[in-house]
């Protein structure tokens, strides 16, 4: 499990979430990318793991309206499209921060 970040900053100006990790490293994740990566039961079939979310329906200018910590392991994000049930664990955010192989 990843350590809890030191800071999370949502910037509407550049449309991204900046994560400052415990060791001082930073990651920047675009809002649209993060929204498409939601793994809640409303976005991914729990039995098959197949995405049910139609990503073409997500507004390209989606923004974060609210963030709340969930224990010491995740953040719940409230999106401008009304979606707010997905949890982004620190481990998941770290995975999403890595460049594609």
How does pLDDT run across 11-50, given as a tens digit for each residue? Answer: 999 999 999 998 889 999 999 999 999 999 999 999 999 9
pLDDT category, 3, cuts 50, 70, 90? confident
Would you say residue 66 has pLDDT above 70?
Answer: yes
Is residue 89 packed enough to be buried (19+ CB in 10 Å), middle (13-18) or exposed (0-12)?
Answer: middle
Give all strands (DSSP E) within the chain, no chain letters: 7-11, 16-20, 26-30, 64-70, 74-79, 87-89
Structure tokens at 28: 């920047």
What's the chain's average pLDDT? 95
Q: What is the pLDDT of residue 73?
A: 96
CATH fold group of domain 7-97 = NE0471 N-terminal domain-like (3.30.2020)
How far from each other are the two terminal CA atoms of the chain, in whole angstroms? Answer: 21
Strand, coil or helix: 34:
helix
| Domain boundaries, given as residue ranges, for the chain | 7-97
Q: Enter the pTM of the model.
A: 0.92
Would you say residue 1 has pLDDT above 70?
Answer: no
DSSP H or E run through 90: helix 90-97
């Amino acid at each position: 499990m990843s350590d809890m970040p030191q800071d999370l900053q949502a910037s509407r100006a550049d449309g991204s979430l900046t994560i400052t990790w415990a060791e001082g490293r930073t990651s920047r994740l675009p809002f649209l990318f993060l929204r498409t990566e939601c793994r809640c039961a409303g976005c991914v079939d729990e039995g098959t793991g197949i995405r049910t979310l139609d990503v073409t329906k997500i507004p390209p200018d989606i923004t974060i309206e609210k963030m709340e910590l969930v224990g010491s392991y995740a953040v719940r994000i409230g999106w401008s499209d009304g979606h707010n049930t997905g949890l982004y664990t620190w481990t998941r955010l770290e995975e999403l921060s890595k460049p594609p192989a």
